[in-house]
Structure 1
Amino acid sequence: MSKNKTSGYKGTYGQKKKEGEGRSSVRYKCSMINSILDVLRQRPGWVEIKEDGEWDFNWCDVGWLRENFDHSYMEEHVRICHFRNHYELTRKNLMVKNLKRYRKTLDREVGRLEGAKCDFFPCTFELPSEYHLFVEEFKRSPGSIWIMKPVARSQGKGIFLFRKLKDIMEWKKDGTRSEDQRDEAPVESYVAQRYIENPYLIGGRKFDLRVYVLVTSYLPLKAWLYRDGFARFSNTRFSLSSIDDQYVHLTNVAVQKTAPDYDPEKGCKWQMQQLRRYLTAKHGSEAVETLFKDIDNIFIRSLLSVQKVIINDKHCFELYGYDILLDQNLKPWLIEVNASPSLTASSQEDYEMKYRLLEDTLNVVDMEGRLTGKEKRVGGYDLMWNDGPVYREDVSLETLGTTYQIANTNLGCVNDRRKQLRQLLKPFPGHKRS
C-alpha cells in the first residue's frame, strides 16, 4: 500500500505473507485507458482504486512518477511500473551517451573486440550542444542523409530528414544565444543521427521491429524477453528521392494511420513469428539465428550500459519497447527504447498480442506470490539475464568438439504460453485459464 511519506502508514500485507495467509485481493491504480486497464480489470482478485485510495500496484505514466515518486512511502510488497530515472535509457540523447561511455569502458578494460559488440547504434550527436562535432562528421560524408529527432518526444513527432546543413541552422543559432537571451524558454534538444539508407525491405517497404523486454531488477540485473512482438511497416514504397515524405521513412503507427490509403483493418504490422518465418525461408535458419542472436546482444548491452546509473528500487519494474531496424545485410540497429510503449491496439490481432504480453508481465511481477523466483520461463517471457547470461537447459550446440550453450531466448518462436502457464501456476480462487 502506498501513502505519503509523512503519514507513517504501516500495512499488514507483509505480515500476512509470512503467516501463510496470502492476500484476498490486490488493489491497483491505473492512469491508462487501453489494453492494460482491460487486463487489470479482468485479473481475478484485483480491485481498482480511484483517486487517492491506498494501492498495492500502480501502472502509472511517467508524468505521475515524476511528480509523486519522491513523496510516496511504499510498503515492501508495493510495485510500480517505472524506475525513477528510467529516462537514462529511454531518452534518445541519454541512451546514446550511456552506450558511448559503456563502449569506451569495454575498449579500455576488456579490449576493442568486446567494445565492438556495442556497434549497433547509428552515429549520433546531440544538438545544439554537440553541433560542432556533428559538423565535422557531416563534412566527412557529404551528401549523406541525417535524421533529426526531439530527444523526449514520441510517435514520430518533430522528426525530419535532411541532407544540407542549412536545413538545421536554427539549432546552431539557438545553441549560441547571448547571455541575456538564455533566460528565455530553453531550447528543445534534438539528436542528429545518421540515417540508415539501406534498410531491409519487404514488398519494397521499410519496417522496424517492436520488441518487449521486462526488467524486474537492475541490482542484480534481471531481464526477460517476450516471444511475441511485431514488425511495423511504412505504408508507401521506400525511396531516397523524397526525404520529406514521412509515410516512406517513419514506421510509427501514429504516423502511418494518417496516410490517405491506410487500411485500419489490414494495418501495417506483421507478427514476429510471421517475420521470422519469412526471413528463414529467404535466408536460411543459420543466418536468422545469427540475426536474432545479434538482437539479443542489443538488449543485454543496452541494459548493462545503464545498470550503474539507473536508481534500482525493489518496488520498480519496467516494460521497455525496443525499436530495432534491419539493414540489407541483416544487421540490426537500435533506434530507440521506449519507457511507455504504446498499449493501444491498432487491430484485433494487435489487441490480443498486447493483452497476452500484459497478462504475462503481471505473472512475472507476481503480486500473488505464486512463483519461486527460480523460473526461467513465465508464459511468453524467457529469462535472458539474471546477474549473468541465462542458457537453455535442453539445448546445446557441439562444434569441433566444443559444446556451446544456447541463450534462453525465443523471440519470434512459438508462444505456447497457455500450456506453460498451466504447468507453472496453481490456479487461485476465481481464476479462469486464459
Structure 2
Amino acid sequence: MELMKLFHRFWLNFKLFWRRMRWIKLPYLVIIVGGFFIALLAVNIYSLKCIKSETVQIANKVAQGSNNCNLSSQQPFSFVAYGGRDVDSGHLRHVFDMFKLFGYQRVERIDGDWDVMWSHDYPFQKLAPLMKNLKPHQKVNHFPGTGFITNKMDLATSGLKFIPKAFKIPEQKNQLLNYVSNNPTKQFVQKSNDHRGIKIKSLKEIDLDKSGSFIQEYISDPLLVDGYKFDIGVYTTITSFDPLRVYIYNGDALFRYCTEKYYPFDDKKVNKYVIGDDYLPTWEVPSLKKYYEDYGFSMKESFDGYMISLGRDPKTIWLQIEEAIRQVCLKKESQIMKYLSLYKSKRNFFEMMRFDFVVDNNLNVYIMEVNMSPNLSSAHFQQNQLLYEQVLFNLFSLVGLGTKGYLKDERVLVSGKNLVVSPSKCASCADCTAPDCQLCRPCLSGETERVLKDAYLEHMNKRDCKRVFPVDHADWTSFPYDHLGPENMLMLNWFKEKCQTDQSWC
C-alpha cells in the first residue's frame, strides 16, 4: 500500500515537471525519465529487502517459541544400566539400541533421576534403599520376589503339572528313594541353581547328600525334529501382580536343537540330550531350512509347518505352554506379593523372562527352567538379531516406554469411557458390594481405576504380544482358578466384560 502511494506521488510530480520542462531537448528528456525509473527501481528493491527481513525475523521468533515449548514439555528420557556383568561388554547392545530408538539417553548415575533402570541382576539387595524410594515415573525391569519363579530349585520342586517330578537333596532323599522304587525304569538328572554339568546318572552315581541340589526326572522320550532333541524358549512379560497380568511374545519363539542326533541314544554323550550355548539353530535343521530360509517363516512358524506336514497339531503344544506359564505365575504370586508389598508402589516394576520347554513324543509339554535375564545378544548367532530386536520393541511398547511423557493430558490415551463396562447391569445397580456392580463407575476406587487404565493401555500397546492371563478360555479343570483373590477376580471379570463387546479383548 505504501509503495502505491509513493508511486502515485512520483507520477503527479512527473506530470507537473513535464508541463514546465517541455522546452528541454529530447536527449535531456530521456536522461531525466531514465533517472526517474532507476530511482523507482531502487525504491522497490529496498522495500523487498525490508519485507524479507521482517519475514525472517517473524519466522525465527516462531521457531524459537516452538523450540522453547518442546524443551519445556519433552525433556529427553533417560535410562541407566546396572548389573553384575560388564554392561558395556556388548551383550546389551540391542537393549541400548532399542532405548535409543525410543528416544532415551543413557546416564551413569544410579542414584540420579532416570526414567528406566535395565538391570541384568536383581537390584533389590545391593540397591535396597534406592529401590524402596523410587519416584512414580521410574521403572525397573524386575519385580522384587520373582526369584520364586526363576530359582531353578524352587520351580522344579513346586509340584505343578507341567514340571517333571523333582526332589530337594538331602531334605527329600527318602521321598526320592520311594519314587524310584515305584518307578524303576525312570531316569534322573542332578541339577543345581547354576544349571551346569547336567548329565543322566543312575541312582548309584548320584550324590544324595549334596546340599543345594535337586534330582529331577528325565523326559526320556522327547519329540524330535530330523532326529534332534530341542527346547522352546518363550519370552514372557509380567506387568502386574495382584492383579496378575501376563503376556507372551507371540511373533516367534527361540528354538534350540542339540548338536547330535538323539538315536542311537548314549547317556555318556551329553550333546545328544543337553542343549548348550553352541546349539544347532533352526536354519541348519534340514526339514526346517526350507520354511525358514526359502519361504521366510519364523522359527515358530517353521516348526508348526513341519508338524502339520507330519499330520500333528502344533496348537496342542502352544495351548499347554500358555497354561503352564499361567499356572506358574499364579502359583508363585502370593510368595512374590510378600516381598512386593514392602515397596512404595507395585507400578514401578515390570519383568521379562524366558520360559524354556521340552516336548515329549506324545506332545506333552514340560518346563525345564525360567531365565531371569534371558540372553538378548546376537553375537553368537547373527540371525537372531531380528528376534531379539522385535522382542524388545514389543516389550517397550507393552509397558508404555514408547508413549511416556509425550502427552500432558492422559485422557487422550485413556479416559473413563474406555474403562466402563456392562451398561445394562450398572444402570440398575444400587449396592457396590454386589458382584455385578463392582465394575460400575460409581463403585471404582481411585486405585482400581488406575489399575484398569494400566490394563487398557497395555491392551492398546501390546502389538505382537498375547495376553495369557487374565483370559476367559483357560483350562479351569487343571488349576483351582476359583481360588483367585478379589483383585484377580475383578481383573478377570473386567476383561470378560470387555470381551462381550469387542472380540479383540477375549
SS at match of 1:67: coil
Contact 1:212-1:322 at 8 Å conserved across structures: yes
Matching residue within 45, 50, 71 for 2:103:
45
- Match of residue 379 from structure 1: 463
Cα gap change, 1:27/1:38 in structure 2, threshold over 3 Å: closer, same or farther?
closer
- Match of residue 381 from structure 2: 347
Deviations 1:1-56 (Å, cap 9, x if unpaired)?
xxxxxxxxxxxxxxxxxxxx754222101244324433344224201011445121
- Shift in Å at residue 240 of structure 1? 6.7
CA distance in 2, matches of 1:392, 1:274: 36
* Structure 2 residue identity aligned to 1:330: L
* Structure 1 residue identity aligned to 2:229: K
CA distance in 1, matches of 2:222, 2:393: 33
Contact 1:96-1:124 at 8 Å conserved across structures: yes
**Structure 2 unaligned residues grouped into runs of 5+:** 1-71, 289-297, 341-345, 407-412, 415-453, 471-490
Asked if 1:167 is matched to 2:209, the reply is: no
- Match of residue 57 from structure 1: 116
Identity of aligned residues (%): 18
Deviations 1:176-207 (Å, cap 9, x if unpaired)?
xxxxxxxxxxx4x1121110000000110100
- Shift in Å at residue 223 of structure 1? 0.9
- Shift in Å at residue 121 of structure 1? 1.3
- Shift in Å at residue 71 of structure 1? 4.2
- Match of residue 329 from structure 2: 303
SS at match of 1:359: helix
CA distance in 1, matches of 2:173, 2:318: 35
Contact 1:280-1:288 at 8 Å conserved across structures: yes
Cα gap change, 1:132/1:300 in structure 2, threshold over 3 Å: closer, same or farther?
same
SS at match of 1:29: strand
Deviations 1:293-340 (Å, cap 9, x if unpaired)?
122111111111011111342211111100111110111111111111
CA distance in 1, matches of 2:492, 2:205: 45
Contact 1:65-1:82 at 8 Å conserved across structures: no
Cα gap change, 1:266/1:38 in structure 2, threshold over 3 Å: closer, same or farther?
farther
Matching residue within 352, 362, 365 for 1:319:
352
SS at match of 1:167: coil
Asked if 1:247 is matched to 2:351, the reply is: no
Cα gap change, 1:122/1:52 in structure 2, threshold over 3 Å: closer, same or farther?
closer
- Match of residue 281 from structure 1: 309
- Give me the TM-score of the superposition, normalised by structure 2: 0.60
Asked if 1:153 is matched to 2:194, the reply is: yes
CA distance in 1, matches of 2:78, 2:393: 16
- Match of residue 478 from structure 2: none
User: What does residue range 99-114 of structure 1 map to in structure 2 within 5 Å?
Assistant: 99-100=158-159
Contact 1:265-1:347 at 8 Å conserved across structures: no
Cα gap change, 1:391/1:205 in structure 2, threshold over 3 Å: closer, same or farther?
farther
CA distance in 2, matches of 1:149, 1:239: 24
Question: What is the aligned-residue RMSD (CA, Å)?
Answer: 3.0
Cα gap change, 1:379/1:39 in structure 2, threshold over 3 Å: closer, same or farther?
farther
Cα gap change, 1:210/1:264 in structure 2, threshold over 3 Å: closer, same or farther?
closer
Contact 2:282-2:299 at 8 Å conserved across structures: no
SS at match of 1:307: helix
Asked if 1:124 is matched to 2:208, the reply is: no
* Structure 1 residue identity aligned to 2:121: V
* Structure 2 residue identity aligned to 1:362: F
SS at match of 1:158: coil
Between structure 1 and structure 2, the one with the greater Rg is 2
Q: Which has the higher helix share?
A: 2
SS at match of 2:117: strand
- Match of residue 431 from structure 2: none
Matching residue within 52, 63, 66 for 2:125:
66
* Structure 1 residue identity aligned to 2:168: E
Matching residue within 75, 91, 115 for 2:135:
75
Task: Give the ranges of 4+ consecutive aligned residues of structure 1 lying more than 6 Å apart after TM superposition.
Answer: 262-265, 267-270, 391-395
CA distance in 1, matches of 2:299, 2:79: 30
- Match of residue 233 from structure 1: 257
Deviations 1:360-406 (Å, cap 9, x if unpaired)?
111111133376441536222122324339689999xxxxxxxxx99
* Structure 2 residue identity aligned to 1:79: K
**Structure 1 unaligned residues grouped into runs of 5+:** 1-20, 101-117, 175-186, 396-404, 409-434
Aligned length: 335
Q: Which has the higher strand share?
A: 1
Deviations 1:128-182 (Å, cap 9, x if unpaired)?
22112111111222242101111x214xx132211x222113x42x4xxxxxxxx
SS at match of 1:277: helix
Matching residue within 140, 144, 153 for 1:84:
144
Matching residue within 204, 224, 228 for 1:201:
224
Contact 2:256-2:281 at 8 Å conserved across structures: no
CA distance in 1, matches of 2:174, 2:264: 26
Contact 2:78-2:104 at 8 Å conserved across structures: yes
Matching residue within 79, 94, 98 for 1:28:
79
- Shift in Å at residue 271 of structure 1? 1.2
Contact 2:80-2:110 at 8 Å conserved across structures: no
CA distance in 1, matches of 2:285, 2:396: 28
* Structure 2 residue identity aligned to 1:132: N
CA distance in 2, matches of 1:289, 1:22: 47
CA distance in 1, matches of 2:185, 2:311: 32
- Match of residue 428 from structure 1: none
Matching residue within 133, 153, 156 for 1:96:
156
- Match of residue 422 from structure 1: none
